[in-house]
Structures are given as C-alpha cells and as structure tokens.
C-alpha cells in the first residue's frame, strides 16, 4: 500500500509538472503571438427584432494560431488573464475595430454600432481614459460590453470614475451576460447602460421552459421601463427569434442569423444580405 501511495504521489507530481509545462508553453506562445500579431477580430451581426435591419456587430477576439488554427477565447483568455495581458488584447481589438470601421465606410457599408468586450482589468486601469482619448473614437458608434461582476469588487470607485468618463467620450455601455451570476437590478439603476444583453443560458430554453420565458419577459419589461434596450444572445433558431420579438426584445444576435465571421466574410455577407 505504501508503494502504491508513493506511485500515486509520483503520478500526481508528474501530471502537475506536465500541466505546468504546458501552461508555461501556452503562455510563452501567447506572448509571442501578440508580438506576431496573431490575434484577430471577428464580427457577429445583431439585428432589429422587428425590422430585421442590421443594427450593429459584436467584435470577438480570435487567435490565429500557427499550428492549431483559429482558437476561440475559451482556449486562451484565462491564460491571458494570468499573464495580465487581457487589457492589451482588448486594446488590440479596439484598434482593429476602429480601422475596420473606416474600411467599411470606404466600401459603402454602414455598420451603425460596434460593441467590444471590455475586461474587468481594463475597466479598472487608471490610464484607460487617457488611452481612449488618444484613439479619437467616433461618438455613438462604439459600445463597451461589461460583465456585471465588475461592479461588485473592492475597486468599484476607479471603475465608476472611468465609466463616467467613457460615457462622456460618447461610448455606450452595455451590460453583458445579464441574468447570470450576481445579477442585480441595482446595477441597472446605478449604471444606466444603453443596453443589456440577456445571457444565452436564459435565452436558449425559452421555447420549452415557462420559467425562463417568464424571466426573459420580466427582464425585457424592466429594461423597457428604464429606457434600456435589450439584446438577446444565443438566438439559435427562428422560433427563438419569433418568440423574443413577441416578448418585446429589441435586438437579436445568434447562430440563427450568423456565427462570428472574419472581416472579409462578414463584409461580403453584409453587403449581399444585410444592407440595402
Ligand atoms: P460573450 O461576450 O458572451 O460573447 C458571445 C459568445 O457567444 C461568443 O463566443 C459567440 O461566438 C457565442 N455565440 C454567439 N451566438 C451564439 C449562439 O447562437 N449559440 C451559442 N451557443 N453561442 C453563440 P466566443 O466568441 O467564443 O467568446 C466567448 C467569450 O470570450 C465572450 O462571451 C467574451 O466574454 C469573451 N471575449 C470575446 N472577445 C473578447 C475580447 O475582445 N475581450 C475580452 N475581454 N473578452 C472577450
Ligand atoms: Ca459580449
Ligand atoms: Ca454575453
């Protein structure tokens, strides 16, 4: 039994070592990838639930890995956080978005609004507002998607100050993943966002579950009474889209319409199908 115990111990140690080495390798690759500009921005469209017009896009980061192909954020965001480079990635995405917006304008494609995800780290960055001011962001065309947990931590005051100044720069605020985690109606009142995005965990079951349907209906009603627009995420079928429209949801985003697409594919699709 003793020998087995030792073996098991060795087994765990070896596993742990392998994990640490692999984590370290990914971390090194990630930093090199940033240097080599392997991080790219993909776009997923959002549509008006009633008129079906293209109202905007969400920018989503992807890692164009030299060996593993396109990697979604779940493969690297955690490591990026550990390395303290999420703010840098957010910044790279925002710069790309501003460039891509100009390219769309030159091509005659009107994309009313681009939403970018902003990590909690970045929102707490003392230099954020200065950086944003230097970027010359066109007013009322960019919005920041923030997760609610941002407003519950101990550095809430820095985030709050930043938020006021971000709004003053003409950047809209959206609450992301609403309805999960530490949801509070209070954060809606405090933050006065332009929009809230109803989490796909709530959206996906609405066809079959009366509970989620009632919850989504209430969220939409509350938002509406506060003058806040609603976006449903994870709209996977046209049945979902129809029901959400019936429930009064303003904007729809999901695989029923399109997956996130690289710049060229998005632009082609948008010019052919989503604009008139
Ligand atoms: P999120 O902000 O909730 O983004 C929506 C996610 O849902 C995206 O995953 C999108 O591809 C996926 N999605 C869209 N429609 C559907 C659908 O109909 N069904 C299903 N099942 N999924 C759908 P993605 O691109 O893998 O991003 C995952 C998360 O990574 C994002 O969740 C966001 O939290 C984070 N993220 C993405 N880009 C950035 C970024 O530039 N900066 C930061 N800080 N975080 C980012
Ligand atoms: Ca988001
Ligand atoms: Ca979300």
Which residue's CA is the closest to the ligand 1 atom numbered 34? Answer: 117
The CA angle 10-12-17, to the nearest 5 degrees, is: 95
Q: What is the pLDDT of residue 183?
A: 59
Nearest atom of ligand 1 to the alpha carbon of 233 = 15
**Helix ranges restricted to H, the chain:** 2-35, 77-82, 86-106, 120-123, 128-135, 156-168, 185-191, 200-203, 210-225, 238-247, 263-269
First-to-last C-alpha distance (Å) of the chain: 74
Pair 144, 197: CB distance under 8 Å: no
Residue among 217, 246, 270, 236 nearest 56 (CA): 270
How far, in Å, from the CA of 74 to the mean position of ligand 1?
Answer: 9
Q: What is the pLDDT of residue 2?
A: 57
Q: What is the pLDDT of residue 155?
A: 65
Which residue's CA is the closest to the ligand 1 atom numbered 10? Answer: 260
How far, in Å, from the CA of 145 to the mean position of ligand 2?
Answer: 6
Distances (CA, A) of 226 to 142, 171, 188, 240, 241: 21, 19, 9, 24, 23
| Cα–Cα distance measured from residue 240 to residue 244, given in angstroms and rounded to the nearest whole number | 6
Which residue's CA is the closest to the ligand 1 atom numbered 17? Answer: 234
> How crowded is residue 179: how many other Cβ atoms within 10 Å of its Cβ?
20
| Cα–Cα distance measured from residue 146 to residue 152, given in angstroms and rounded to the nearest whole number | 12
Radius of gyration of the chain, Cα coordinates, nearest whole angstrom:
21
At 142 the three-state DSSP class reads: strand
Q: What is the DSSP string of 224-258?
A: HHTT-EEEE----SHHHHHHHHHHT--EE-STTT-
Q: What is the pLDDT of residue 80?
A: 96
Q: Which of 78, 90, 117, 148 to mutate to test the pocket of ligand 1 (most atoms within 8 A of CB)?
A: 117
How confident is the prediction along the chain (276 residues), in pLDDT tens digits per residue?
556 667 777 777 888 888 877 888 889 999 999 999 999 999 999 999 999 999 999 999 999 999 999 999 999 999 999 999 999 999 999 999 999 999 999 999 999 999 999 998 899 888 999 999 999 899 999 999 998 766 656 667 788 889 999 999 999 999 999 888 665 677 778 788 999 999 999 999 999 999 999 999 999 999 999 999 999 999 999 999 999 999 999 999 999 999 999 999 999 999 999 987
Q: What is the pLDDT of residue 152?
A: 59
Which residues have C-beta atoms less than 6 Å from ligand 1?
44, 60-61, 72-74, 77, 86, 89-90, 93, 117, 119, 145, 176-177, 200, 233-236, 254-255, 260
At 60 the three-state DSSP class reads: strand
């Amino acid at each position: 039994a003793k020998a087995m115990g030792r073996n098991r111990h060795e087994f765990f140690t070896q596993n742990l070592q392998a994990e640490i080495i692999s984590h370290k390798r990914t971390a090194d690759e990630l930093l090199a990838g940033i240097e080599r500009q392997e991080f790219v921005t993909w776009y997923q469209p959002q549509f008006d639930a009633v008129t079906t017009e293209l109202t905007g896009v969400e920018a989503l980061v992807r890692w164009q890995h030299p060996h593993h192909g396109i990697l979604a954020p779940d493969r690297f965001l955690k490591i990026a956080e550990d390395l303290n480079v999420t703010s840098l990635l957010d910044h790279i995405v925002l710069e790309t978005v501003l460039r891509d917006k100009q390219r769309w304008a030159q091509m005659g494609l009107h994309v009313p609004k681009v939403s970018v995800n902003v990590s909690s780290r970045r929102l707490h960055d003392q230099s954020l507002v200065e950086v944003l001011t230097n970027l010359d962001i066109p007013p009322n065309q960019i919005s920041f998607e923030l997760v609610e947990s941002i407003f519950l931590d101990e550095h809430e005051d820095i985030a709050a100050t930043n938020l006021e100044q971000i709004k003053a720069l003409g950047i809209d605020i959206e609450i992301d993943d609403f309805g999960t985690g530490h949801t509070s109606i209070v954060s809606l009142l405090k933050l006065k966002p332009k929009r809230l995005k109803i989490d796909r965990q709530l959206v996906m079951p609405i066809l079959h579950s009366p509970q989620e349907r009632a919850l989504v209906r209430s969220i939409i009603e509350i938002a509406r009474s506060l003058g806040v627009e609603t976006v449903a995420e994870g709209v996977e079928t046209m049945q979902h889209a129809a029901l959400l429209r019936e429930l009064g949801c303003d904007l729809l985003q999901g695989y029923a319409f399109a997956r996130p697409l690289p710049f060229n594919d998005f632009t082609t699709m948008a010019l052919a199908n989503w604009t008139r």
